[in-house]
């Protein structure tokens, strides 16, 4: 099912969008429309950028066969990375990544990959600022999002980049899934701001 064309955001104020945004890990099969994706990309490129470099570039994947192949290729690589980190004392659970039926993209039918040429020390920060803009805009449109950091390594393999049309000079920074949330996602708790110093 194709989502209705979305011309403009619904009109949440920015703080409402920040509070409403969730990390969504369960999606309906509805397809995100081209217009909605264009709105998300327009929001992304309005992010702050050091020295007005605007380093970001985007890849959009909506082919479910490609998404499944990416998930299947990424899982063993990520499991191995986690084993290495755990051997260094960084403890995280990764058992579910070993299950054949586990979908790294949580059933979402759209993956937006933010890439950049590593031309300055601020490129990665710029891309993550763009990612946050994109996710807040998605929330305003009623869409869910989730950063899939576990896919970064596979997306930066030369062969995978070639298959996805990512030039060798570009590095994948932020893979983000988007789609219609399946049910409600509860708000996660947050610690109070840790203020190390405040000098009035």
What is the C-alpha to C-alpha distance for residues 59 and 172, in angstroms, rounded to an integer? Answer: 10
For the entire predicted model, the pTM comes to 0.91
14-179: CATH class? alpha beta
Residue closest to 105 by CA, chosen among 138, 133, 145, 77:
145
Domain boundaries, the chain: 14-179
How far out from the chain centre does Cα 89 lie? 27
**Interatomic CA distance for residues 53 and 36, integer angstroms:** 25
Of 189, 186, 181, the C-alpha closest to 141 is: 181
> In tens digits, what is the pLDDT along the chain, a chain of 200 residues?
444 444 444 567 899 999 999 999 999 999 999 999 999 999 999 999 999 999 999 999 999 999 999 999 999 999 888 888 777 666 666 778 889 999 999 999 999 999 999 999 999 999 999 999 999 999 999 999 999 999 999 999 999 999 999 999 999 999 999 999 999 999 999 999 999 999 99
Neighbours of 112 (CB within 10 A): 24
Could you give the CA distance from residue 190 to residue 167 in angstroms, rounded to a whole number? Answer: 38
B/e letters for 76-86, b = 16+ CB within 10 Å, e = fewer, are ebbbeebeeee
**How far is it, in rounded angstroms, from Cα 160 to Cα 169?**
14
């Amino acid at each position: 099912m194709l989502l209705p064309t979305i011309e403009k955001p619904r009109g949440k104020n920015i703080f409402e969008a920040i509070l409403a945004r969730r990390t969504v890990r369960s999606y309906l099969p509805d397809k995100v429309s081209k217009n909605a994706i264009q709105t998300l990309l327009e929001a992304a490129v309005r992010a702050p950028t050091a020295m007005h470099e605007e380093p970001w570039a985007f890849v959009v994947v909506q082919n479910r066969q490609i998404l499944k192949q990416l998930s299947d290729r990424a899982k063993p690589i990520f499991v191995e990375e986690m084993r290495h980190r755990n051997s260094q004392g960084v403890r995280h659970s990764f058992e579910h990544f070993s299950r054949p039926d586990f979908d790294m993209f949580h059933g979402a039918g759209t993956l937006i990959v933010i890439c950049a040429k590593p031309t300055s020390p601020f490129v990665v920060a710029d891309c993550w600022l763009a990612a946050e803009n994109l996710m807040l805009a998605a929330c305003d449109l009623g869409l869910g999002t989730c950063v899939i950091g576990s896919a970064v390594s596979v997306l930066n393999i030369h062969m995978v980049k070639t298959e996805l049309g990512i030039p060798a000079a570009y590095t994948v920074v932020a893979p983000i899934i988007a789609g219609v949330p399946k049910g409600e996602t509860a708000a996660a708790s947050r610690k109070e701001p840790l203020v190390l110093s405040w000098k009035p």
